[in-house]
Structure 1
Amino acid sequence: MEYLFPSFIDQYIDELAKKGRKDSTIQRYMYDLNDFAYWLHKARSTTEYINWKSITKDELDLFFHVLSEERKYNVRTIRRIHSVLKQVYQYRKSLGQSELSPIQEIIPPELHSGPLQESEWVDQNEQRQLLSTLSSKNGLSEQQLEMFSFYKERNEFIVRLFLHYGLTLHEVQQLSMNDLRFERNEIHIQEDNRIILLKENDKQLAYTYFKAIPEPVRPRFYSQDPFFVSFDFKRKTFHWSYDDDEPKRMSPIAIQKMVRMEVKRAKLRKGISAQTLRNTFILTTLLHGESSDELVQRIGYTTPLSMNRYKNTIDSITEKQKQRLLAGIL
């Protein structure tokens, strides 16, 4: 997939060779850069040339989220990839260019991950404020008000899947119609074949959103059609992909942007993301007494070791912080 590279990558690799870097090091750099380029094109759903000056912090955040939460890369590997991208940025900066400049804002994980910081979860007041705003018309523009009824339940259901069920961004984005079993209040997560049991009010929320989609572009029952469909504000309806002959699936970046915009509308602090909401679910569930072994199976982790950071967080936070977290399911 090297054709995805901008031309300056070849120049950068030549510079590494001139500096005497080992062939194995150069091959590793090429692998990491190729992997990032391929992911970027897939995330943007394009095979066209991408100007790396257009890469955003949101995209880089999502890329490192994928490395950590979906691919389960270890911290050293993630730090290495971060270093490769940062060195490319520094190389371009030395030439007066700005490719990959948002990498400066991305902080790589520490080698020895300590407890989560308080900014990495939301307390019960923030949860209530966010959920209340999602179902209200507060802060909406005239254009948004006109189309709010189409996507209101969609956005709220997505947030609830993160906050009350602990689904990952990837799991939510990949949901298809045959994963939603309305008659049994179930969601099927295909990757690890696990079943999520929905509360009745959340099932109703999902079904209301589904019925709000105009029938010509509505996902078809018991099909691979995406459940979460992208909304087209210009045409005032949901997107249809003529290439795939199905509704257009919301991208991870679109979901991430939606969460950020709803957080802003709720007048909450910056930085609250899908991962922040999932962290909240895990911490709250542990505080309610569920064992880490049970929770590992429930949220699809492959090893109990994945829970260590959350258990360390529970052990390190104050009683006051615990109380602020214990909102229960709203």
Structure 2
Amino acid sequence: MTIFNSINATNNINVLPTDNNYIEFEKTYRYFSQMPQFIQGYLVSRISLNYSTNTIQRYIYDFKFFFDYVIQRAGIQINSIDISLDDFTSLQPSGVKNYIHYLAIERKNNPKTINRKISALKSVFTYLQQQNQVKSNPIEGIERPKVGRSEPIYLTKQECNDLLTFIKKMEYCKSEREKTYQQMFMNRDIAIIHLMMMTGLRISELCSLQMNNLSWERKEITVIGKGSKQRSIPITEETIKNLKNYLEELNEDIRPKKTTDPFFVGYDFKQKKIKSGISVSAVQKMISRHLERAKESLPFLTYKHITAHKLRHSFATELAKQGVDVLTIQNLLGHESVATTQIYAHIQRETKMKAIALLN
């Protein structure tokens, strides 16, 4: 026996958070405390491997959704935290197939969403196998929905400008409450939407921006993307102007000042006050609200299903139209593989064909 035996034991890897860490995780990750202990152990292992906060939170949402589904199907009154490891490891391939059917048919989830949720479960079983707590993985070999490659939906440069102009007018604000809210956040909303249009940021990256991520002198922002990879993106004078307008309009007491302060503020509807930082869901809802209200005035929004993420597509598509090479677009978007960026390649081909056609 050696002194290393105490750390060599496999079950030592499955460590639950300490009291101090538990409190910190509860604050950082929504529903963390509602997860079964074996899931908490899995999440701690991912945190120790430097998985991003957004990835961990996405895992938790997917696990909660799955456990809610199981409990509802079982017709019993228990909470997710009460699900035991024995219960979880009794999952069979047929149960996984039924879950996929539920996601696709009843919940109308798209193939990418379904595959992500199934991959999260598979990852837990792989982890449990490594801990010698299960012998097999019921998700291994399960046929997944096929993800078709579709052309990106996007807004043209003119359509982006029309949308921003519409938001600035505030003509769609009918109630006094809407007008008050819009006056409070118009500059913030314009800064956010314009920044996404001109940088292709993911919403999670935008929400994670701190004061020290922006450099007015270098005219660029630095973000930590997927896989904790850092990249810098140049920003235009107009983008800088919108960002500074937003900051200058904030009251002194809520304006971010420290280098680690979140750049964008949000709104606490329970406390009815502006708060530091903004969530992904808040940005999604804000953009959806503007898009929905703009439909009457901007006809192109009635046949283009535009979401917050489509602003990222709009940025990349405009670059492709201008002849920017795929590798540069990949770098600006923070894609790990150039294959992901290839959906914009057809736009470059069309642009080249039009250029050649002018020679006729």
Could you tell me how far 1:144 is from its partner in structure 2? Answer: 2.7
Distance 2:326 2:306 in 1: 24
Could you tell me how far 1:215 is from its partner in structure 2? Answer: 0.9
Residues 1:111 and 2:146 aligned together = yes
Q: Which amino acid aligns with 2:72?
A: R
Q: Tell whether the 8 Å contact from 1:43 to 1:251 is kept in structure 2 after alignment.
A: no
Residues 1:160 and 2:190 aligned together = no
CA distance 1:143–1:105, shift in 2 (3 Å): same
User: Which structure's relative contact order is higher, taking Cα pairs within 8 Å and 6+ residues apart?
Assistant: 1
Could you tell me how far 1:253 is from its partner in structure 2? Answer: 0.8
CA distance 1:147–1:289, shift in 2 (3 Å): same
Partner of 2:338: 304
Spell out the pairing of 1:55-134 with structure 2 (5 A cutoff): 89=69, 92-93=72-73, 95=75, 104-109=107-112, 111-116=146-151, 120-124=153-157, 126-134=159-167
Could you tell me how far 1:200 is from its partner in structure 2? Answer: 1.1
RMSD: 4.0
Partner of 1:257: 285
Q: Which amino acid aligns with 1:258?
A: M
Aligned partner of 2:307 among 251, 267, 273: 273
Q: Tell whether the 8 Å contact from 1:194 to 1:300 is kept in structure 2 after alignment.
A: yes
Instruction: Output one character per residue of 1:239-265: Cα deviation in whole Å (capped at 9) or x when no partner.
Output: 2xxxxxxxx210111111111111112
Distance 2:338 2:315 in 1: 17
Identity of aligned residues (%): 24
More displaced 10-residue stretch of structure 1: 188-197 or 292-301: 188-197
Could you tell me how far 1:128 is from its partner in structure 2? Answer: 3.5
How many residues of Structure 1 are paired with residues of Structure 2 in the alignment?
Answer: 242
Distance 1:272 1:43 in 2: 29
**Pair member with larger Rg:** 2
Instruction: Output one character per residue of 1:89-120: Cα deviation in whole Å (capped at 9) or x when no partner.
Output: 377257499x9999703212353432226xx3
Distance 1:264 1:148 in 2: 15
Q: Tell whether the 8 Å contact from 2:256 to 2:263 is kept in structure 1 after alignment.
A: yes
More displaced 10-residue stretch of structure 1: 258-267 or 137-146: 137-146
What SS class does the counterpart of residue 225 from structure 1 fall into?
A: coil
Distance 1:47 1:133 in 2: 40
Partner of 1:282: 316
Could you tell me how far 1:304 is from its partner in structure 2? Answer: 1.3
Aligned partner of 1:138 among 168, 171, 176: 171
Distance 2:217 2:253 in 1: 23
Partner of 1:182: 216
Instruction: Output one character per residue of 1:215-270: Cα deviation in whole Å (capped at 9) or x when no partner.
Output: 1121114x11000111246766522xxxxxxxx21011111111111111212348
- What TM-score comes out, normalization by structure 2 length? 0.56
Distance 2:347 2:69 in 1: 34
Q: Tell whether the 8 Å contact from 2:323 to 2:348 is kept in structure 1 after alignment.
A: no
Q: Which runs of 5+ in 2 are unaligned?
A: 1-24, 36-50, 81-98, 113-144, 296-300, 355-360
CA distance 1:250–1:146, shift in 2 (3 Å): same
Could you tell me how far 1:150 is from its partner in structure 2? Answer: 2.8
Distance 1:82 1:277 in 2: 25
Could you tell me how far 1:170 is from its partner in structure 2? Answer: 1.3
Q: Tell whether the 8 Å contact from 1:115 to 1:312 is kept in structure 2 after alignment.
A: no
Instruction: Output one character per residue of 1:272-310: Cα deviation in whole Å (capped at 9) or x when no partner.
Output: 222111112112211210000111112222221221233
Distance 2:209 2:62 in 1: 29
Q: Which runs of 5+ in 1 are unaligned?
A: 1-38, 51-66, 72-77, 240-247, 321-330
